[in-house]
Amino acid sequence: MIDTIDFTDLTAPEVEDVVLGQVLTDHQAISRAARMLKADHLVGPSHKMVYRTALEMWSEGIGVDLITMTHELRKRGTLELIGGAYTLAKWTQRVVSSTHLDHHCAILVEYYGKRVLRRAGADLAKNTNAASENDALISGITNELSKAAAAELSSDINAGERAYTMLDEVKPKPYYFNMVGVDDYVFLLPGNMVTVSAPSGVGKTAFALSAVLNLIHVLKPWIVSLEMPADELLTRALCQLACVDISDALQDRLSPQDRERMAAAAIAHGEALSRMSIEDSGSMSIDRFRALAEHKVKNDGVRLIVVDYAQLMDADPVAHKGLADQNEAISKGLRSVARSLNIILLVVVHVNRQGEAHGSVQYEKDAHVRLKLSREKGDAMMTVDIIKNRNGRTGSVPTPFEGRFGLVGRTAHASSQFPAKPKTDHDTPF
């Protein structure tokens, strides 16, 4: 007969220390933790008591930190039960930052689910005998399994609690492409994945680069350029800024006047261009992209990431069989990066002349905003179809296109009037 269950290998007291330390150090940590972590998920009696108190304070609109928690526990007469103010202070001393709070909470939830399963298995072994009622046993084990499954789904948000905290949070301001016509339909928010699709030669890279240059002052960009070398991309950027023919620049056929304009553009916009970094390896797996993106965001302050283009990325061929499965993994990975890092992700997707994406339609499903570009050869206007827009309306709009300069969304004449007044509450672009 099983009288006791050993849970020592399914507890993480040091993680519980760190999670409580983060809750007491970062005023936003409790709202993040509450989305997935419940007091019952913790093992330590002191940890449970403090975390349950933190949740109650948070739901009542009381700020949670070391001072307020000490005061609240003292009022309730429970401060000495958890070891006094020394215990709270000791937890905070283990905290460097709350960057990985979500991951720490996930560890505790995982351990909780395993403890529930182990307990259910032990109970089943203990109570199964000739006199047992099968229905009763099955009902009991089903309840326990449901609890374990619920632990894995505990990122659910209580709508009432979340609605309350949202009232006090600063809402993110929208960003615009600052492109004629497009801004009437499209705005961007942190966490958005935006796809830009078109066949070859329409101007996908020109669109993406124009967006980067328009937003570079307010969103530090990182471009994962898998299609063209960094030097070519930078040349195209200078041609946009100086209104110099890209073909002449790439073939080294610039006139003295054009060279002078390119040099002047490099000097005038050098500080802004220094904010832009370009990944120039020519290849990238989705796993490596995740790691690099996290580093760029957390260490370099990147807020806008451009991938040009998605189907040139790689996914593990062993784990994902076939091109469609690999592209599905890439798309889901890209969306996950945008959401987890809370950045704007602009993804260029190559399609054939029939408008079908090469490899997978998953990019269409995962995008918050889907833009499809089309243009007749030699036309000075590009049509932008807003096919999907979770932030607003869909529709079709024309926008200026000057292909020889790589300009999208404005004319060369307007480009010379920098800084233009953008449709945004943020600082002006070039």
Q: Is the pLDDT of residue 277 over 90?
A: yes
- pLDDT tens for 135-145 read 555 555 555 55
Last residue of a domain, one of 168, 195, 216: 168
Q: Is the pLDDT of residue 102 over 50?
A: yes
Within a domain: 173: no
Predicted confidence band of residue 359 (pLDDT cuts 50, 70, 90): low
Last residue of a domain, one of 125, 144, 168: 168
- pLDDT tens for 303-319 read 999 999 888 998 888 87
Across the range 412-423, mean pLDDT stands at: 48
pLDDT at 178: 94
Q: Are residues 221 and 157 in the same domain?
A: no
Share of the chain above pLDDT 90, in %: 51
pLDDT at 123: 67
Q: Are residues 248 and 383 in the same domain?
A: yes
Q: Is the dihedral of CA 355, 356, 360, 364 positive or negative?
A: positive
252 versus 35: the higher-pLDDT residue is 252
Domain with 225, as residue range(s), is 182-415
2 versus 254: the higher-pLDDT residue is 254
Across the range 357-381, mean pLDDT stands at: 85
Within a domain: 160: yes
Q: Is the pLDDT of residue 131 over 70?
A: no
Within a domain: 17: yes
Q: Is the pLDDT of residue 192 over 90?
A: yes
- pLDDT tens for 374-414 read 998 888 999 999 999 998 899 999 999 999 999 999 877 65
Tokens of 139: 């009902």
395 backbone dihedrals φ, ψ, rounded to 5°: 165, -170
pTM listed for this prediction = 0.63
Within a domain: 426: no
pLDDT at 311: 87
Lowest mean pLDDT among 129-143, 207-221, 286-300: 129-143
Which helix (H) or strand (E) segment holds residue 256: the answer is: helix 256-268
What single DSSP character describes residue 1? Answer: -
Q: Are residues 199 and 162 in the same domain?
A: no
212 versus 128: the higher-pLDDT residue is 212
- Upper half-sphere CA count for residue 79 (Cβ side, 13 Å): 17
Within a domain: 298: yes
Lowest mean pLDDT among 74-88, 137-151, 175-189: 137-151
DSSP states along 201-253: TS-HHHHHHHHHHHHTTTS-EEEEESSS-HHHHHHHHHHHHHT--HHHHHTT-
120 versus 107: the higher-pLDDT residue is 107
Helix (H, G, I), strand (E, B) or coil at 185: coil
Predicted confidence band of residue 419 (pLDDT cuts 50, 70, 90): very low
Query: What SS3 string covers 368-427?
Result: CEEEEEECCCCCCEEEEEEEEECCCCCEEEEEEEECCCCEECCCHHHHCCCCCCCCCCCC
Residue 342: CB partners within 8 Å, gap ≥ 6? 190, 191
- Distance (Å) of CA 317 to CA 40, 238, 287, 310: 40, 38, 12, 16
Q: Is the pLDDT of residue 255 over 50?
A: yes
104 versus 319: the higher-pLDDT residue is 104
Q: Are residues 150 and 247 in the same domain?
A: no
Q: Is the pLDDT of residue 274 over 50?
A: yes
Total number of domains in the chain? 2
Q: What angle do CA 118, 124, 127 make, to 5 degrees?
A: 135
CA dist 40 and 404 (Å) reads 63
| CA 198 to the chain's CA centroid | 24
Residues in the chain: 430
- pLDDT tens for 336-350 read 899 889 999 999 998
pLDDT at 124: 65
Q: Is the pLDDT of residue 266 over 80?
A: yes
Within a domain: 175: no
Predicted confidence band of residue 427 (pLDDT cuts 50, 70, 90): very low
Q: What is the CATH number of the domain that holds 86?
A: 1.10.860.10
CA dist 71 and 56 (Å) reads 14
Nearest to 109 by CA among 23, 48, 42: 42
pLDDT at 429: 41
- Over the Cα atoms of the chain, what is R_g? 27
Q: Are residues 205 and 163 in the same domain?
A: no
Q: Is the pLDDT of residue 79 over 80?
A: yes
Q: Is the pLDDT of residue 61 over 80?
A: no
Q: What is the CATH number of the domain that holds 382?
A: 3.40.50.300
Burial class (CB in 10 A: 0-12, 13-18, 19+), 281: exposed
Lowest mean pLDDT among 170-184, 225-239, 326-340, 348-362: 348-362
Lowest mean pLDDT among 97-111, 200-214, 236-250, 356-370: 356-370
Within a domain: 422: no
